[in-house]
Amino acid sequence: MSILVNENSRVLVQGITGREGSFHASSCMAYGTNVVAGVTPGRGGQLFEDRVPVFDAVAQAVRETQANVSLIFVPPAFAPDAIAEAADALVPLIVCITEGIPVQDMVRLTPYLAGKQVRLIGPNCPGLISPVASCKVGIMPGSIHRPGRTGVVSRSGTLTYEAVEQLSSLGIGQSSCVGIGGDPIIGTSFVDALRLFNDDPDTDLVVLIGEIGGSLEQDAAAYIKEGFTKPVCALVVGATAPPGKRMGHAGAIITGEDARADAKIQALREAGATIIPTPADIGATAQAVLARM
Question: What CATH number does residue 93 fall under?
Answer: 3.40.50.720
Q: Is 230 helix (H, G, I), strand (E, B) or coil?
A: coil
What strand order describes the sheet that includes 205-211?
135-138, 127-130, 174-179, 147-154, 205-211, 232-237, 274-275
Co-location of 100 and 163 in the same domain: no
Indicate whether 287 belongs to any domain. Answer: yes
Q: What is the mean pLDDT of the chain?
A: 93
Of the three residues 56, 87, 121, the one that is the final residue of a domain is: 121
Co-location of 78 and 206 in the same domain: no
Co-location of 169 and 282 in the same domain: yes
Co-location of 109 and 144 in the same domain: no
Co-location of 164 and 83 in the same domain: no
Of the three residues 121, 154, 188, the one that is the final residue of a domain is: 121
Indicate whether 129 belongs to any domain. Answer: no
Co-location of 92 and 159 in the same domain: no
Contact 138, 124 (CB under 8 A): no
Phi and psi of 33, rounded to 5°?
-65, 140
Provide the CATH number for the domain around residue 250: 3.40.50.261
pLDDT at 225 over 90: yes
* Residues 63, 56: Cα–Cα separation, whole Å: 12
pLDDT of residue 240: 53
pLDDT of residue 252: 47
Q: Is 78 helix (H, G, I), strand (E, B) or coil?
A: coil
Amino acid at 131: P
pLDDT at 213 over 50: yes
Indicate whether 131 belongs to any domain. Answer: no
Q: Is 210 helix (H, G, I), strand (E, B) or coil?
A: strand
Co-location of 15 and 152 in the same domain: no
pLDDT of residue 251: 47
* Residues 239, 252: Cα–Cα separation, whole Å: 11
Amino acid at 159: L
Indicate whether 132 belongs to any domain. Answer: no
Co-location of 98 and 183 in the same domain: no
Contact 189, 165 (CB under 8 A): no
Indicate whether 77 belongs to any domain. Answer: yes
Co-location of 165 and 30 in the same domain: no
- Please give the positions annotated as active site: 249
Range of the domain at 208: 140-292
- Number of folded domains in the chain? 2
Co-location of 246 and 146 in the same domain: yes
What is the pTM (predicted TM-score) of this model? 0.94
**pLDDT over 70 for what percent of the chain?**
93
DSSP 97-138: ------HHHHHHHHHHHHTSS-EEE-SSS-EEEEGGGTEEEE
Give the residue, 275 or 257, on which the prediction is more confident.
275
Indicate whether 134 belongs to any domain. Answer: no
pLDDT of residue 241: 54
pLDDT at 66 over 60: yes
Alpha helix segments (H runs only) across 19-133? 19-31, 58-65, 79-88, 103-114
Phi and psi of 280, rounded to 5°?
-70, -10
Co-location of 145 and 288 in the same domain: yes
**pLDDT over 90 for what percent of the chain?**
87
Average pLDDT over residues 64-80: 97
The CB-side HSE value for 288 (13 A sphere, CA atoms) comes to: 9
Indicate whether 39 belongs to any domain. Answer: yes
pLDDT of residue 284: 98
Sign of the dihedral through C-alpha 31, 37, 41, 44: positive
pLDDT band at residue 239 under the 50/70/90 scheme: low
Co-location of 64 and 158 in the same domain: no
Indicate whether 153 belongs to any domain. Answer: yes
